[in-house]
Amino acid sequence: MKGFNMIHQYKLNGYNIVLDIFSGSVHLVDEVAYDIIAMFKSHSFEEITKKISKKHSVSEAEIAECLEDIKELEKSGKLFSEDTFKEIAKNYRRENIAVKALCLHVAHICNLNCSYCFASQGKYHGDRAIMSLETGKRAIDFLIENSQNHKNLDVDFFGGEPLMNWDVVKEIVAYAREQEKIHNKNIRFTLTTNGVLLDDEVIEFCNREMHNVVLSLDGRKEVHDRFRKDYNGAGSYDKILPNFKKFVEKRGNKSYYMRGTFTHHNTDFLTDILHMADMGFTELSMEPVVCPPGDPCALTEEDLPTLFDQYEKLAIEMIKRKKAGNGFTFYHYMIDLTGGPCIYKRVAGCGSGTEYMAVTPWGELFPCHQFVGNDEYSMGNIYDGVTNTALRDKFASCNAYTRPDCENCWAKLYCAGGCSANAFNATGDIKGVYKYGCELFKKRIECALMMKIALNEE
């Protein structure tokens, strides 16, 4: 049916919302316009007039006026826009093979023993290891050598727990700062930490050098301590919370995220987000757990309605708090409608295995941090470069149009085709679809757009 795949209509929090998928336009409409738009491409104007007159108390003249408005929006490219982006998606990664982001696994060790960790307590199903300074420096060289003319480059210190190799982190940063000047690059660092070793010296360094810092906190003490324990089995909440508070206090306006993971055991994760917000943390992220189906903490089909409800309630609460002057940010509800990503970013996939790769402590390259430890996904190393070019080509071909399931999905320009690691974990193929994740993703985008409308009304 023509028009069917061009728009997405939904009702949320009392708003009737129409998204024009391929122009990115967002419309707030009343009940009459909502019903007319739903029939616009599949019914004649006479049929629409008849049906609308029967359902709503509006005159034929009013219906005709609304039909004219819709025609005008269509003409101006804001409604029923055609999809013309498939070729862009196909070619972009093929033509752009520069590397611009590395996730440095500086420590395959951790001082916590979280049973839900996708990295198997930081070891990635392998041996404990830490990155040497020599390897770290070579990784920076590899990044710069392969970055072509890109100026902005990203480096993430990841683990395990990167603070367990802190001296090397600092020296890699110092080396990168020298090199970026020589090569006219702008390297932005991110550190992801569990907070155990977050002391004054680390805080001071991070506030000077780290563009972003990701702090792992799952929410309420009992939720956090269920999984995030030390090797003696003691929960880490009481140890890390003062460190996080001190860090955020000194962070000023620089970027950070308090990032939690929710599981089957806390499907009421809104309480955990609000727990963080009520402690004064304002930059928040909460992710569904990544684990094999059947694991006790895995999210289930039965959990979905609860999770949808939590996301909706979160959006409504955020609107309320924003209006009251004590708002907070939720990573997945951040959408910049006017200054956000261009179409290339929206269709070209996440960049794993192409512009983004993970580097192990011994310098081996993987498509992303979630593939580390899976030998079939080894891409090469920072000394010889990407040698498994067939694998790179496979990742380069992942985009918003690769998967048949995405063909009719209204959200594909918001996820760019989704996470290849999630697809692999769910189906055994990076070109599969993690349907459960898609359902959550779509709900989050619906909530985020609704929030834009609600706050736009102010």
Partner 1 sequence: MKRIVTLETRDLNKSVKTGGCGECQTSCQSACKTSCGVANQACEKESK
Rounded to whole angstroms, the Cα distance separating 110 from 97 reads: 33
Residue 23 makes contact with partner 1 by CB under 8 A: yes
Residue 392 makes contact with partner 1 by CB under 8 A: no
Give me the least distance between CB of 370 and partner 1, in Å please: 7
Nearest CA to 48 out of 14, 24, 78, 71 is that of 71
Give me the least distance between CB of 182 and partner 1, in Å please: 20
In terms of Cβ atoms closer than 10 Å to its own Cβ (0-12, 13-18, 19+), residue 119 is buried
Binder to partner 1 among 5, 331, 385, 431 (CB under 8 A)?
Answer: 331
Nearest CA to 112 out of 159, 169, 171, 148 is that of 159
Rounded to whole angstroms, the Cα distance separating 41 from 43 reads: 6
Of 134-142, 201-209, 230-238, 335-343, the segment contacting partner 1 by CB under 8 A is 335-343
Binder to partner 1 among 28, 197, 297, 316 (CB under 8 A)?
Answer: 28
Place of tokens 């209509």: 9
Rounded to whole angstroms, the Cα distance separating 247 from 3 reads: 51
Of 29-37, 297-305, 314-322, 386-394, the segment contacting partner 1 by CB under 8 A is 29-37
Binder to partner 1 among 41, 123, 138, 150 (CB under 8 A)?
Answer: 150
Residue 355 makes contact with partner 1 by CB under 8 A: yes
Give me the least distance between CB of 389 and partner 1, in Å please: 20
Rounded to whole angstroms, the Cα distance separating 431 from 369 reads: 18
Give me the least distance between CB of 36 and partner 1, in Å please: 8
| Residue number, 42 or 456, with CB nearest to partner 1 | 456
Nearest CA to 159 out of 369, 387, 384 is that of 369
Give me the least distance between CB of 238 and partner 1, in Å please: 24
Place of tokens 């709900």: 443
Instruction: Give residue 80's identity as a one-letter amino acid code.
Output: F
Binder to partner 1 among 6, 7, 12, 22 (CB under 8 A)?
Answer: 22
Span 79-138, contacts to partner 1 by CB under 8 A = 81, 84-85, 88, 92, 96, 98, 100-101, 103, 118
Give me the least distance between CB of 234 and partner 1, in Å please: 26
Binder to partner 1 among 170, 297, 335, 362 (CB under 8 A)?
Answer: 335
| Residue number, 247 or 414, with CB nearest to partner 1 | 414
Give me the least distance between CB of 101 and partner 1, in Å please: 4
CB 249 within 8 A of CB 257: no
Instruction: Give residue 243's identity as a one-letter amino acid code.
Output: N
Residue 385 makes contact with partner 1 by CB under 8 A: no
Binder to partner 1 among 325, 339, 404, 428 (CB under 8 A)?
Answer: 339
Residue 52 makes contact with partner 1 by CB under 8 A: no
Span 291-310, contacts to partner 1 by CB under 8 A = none
The distance of Cα 65 from the centroid of its chain, to the nearest Å, equals 41
In terms of Cβ atoms closer than 10 Å to its own Cβ (0-12, 13-18, 19+), residue 80 is buried
Q: What is the per-residue binding string for partner 1 in 63-82, x denoting contact by CB under 8 A? A: --xx--xx--x---xx--x-
| Residue number, 83 or 200, with CB nearest to partner 1 | 83
| Residue number, 73 or 107, with CB nearest to partner 1 | 73
Binder to partner 1 among 351, 363, 373, 380 (CB under 8 A)?
Answer: 351
The distance of Cα 154 from the centroid of its chain, to the nearest Å, equals 16
Q: Name the token pair of 226.
A: 């269920």
Rounded to whole angstroms, the Cα distance separating 192 from 270 reads: 23
Q: Name the token pair of 417.
A: 């085709």
Of 38-46, 234-242, 304-312, 419-427, the segment contacting partner 1 by CB under 8 A is 419-427
**Which helix H or strand E contains 157, and what residues bound it?**
strand 152-159
Bridge partner list, 352: 356
The distance of Cα 42 from the centroid of its chain, to the nearest Å, equals 35
Span 224-243, contacts to partner 1 by CB under 8 A = none
Range list of H helices, 76-125 = 86-95
Give me the least distance between CB of 233 and partner 1, in Å please: 25
Residue 365 makes contact with partner 1 by CB under 8 A: no
3-state SS class at 11: strand
Of 168-176, 200-208, 266-274, 411-419, the segment contacting partner 1 by CB under 8 A is 411-419
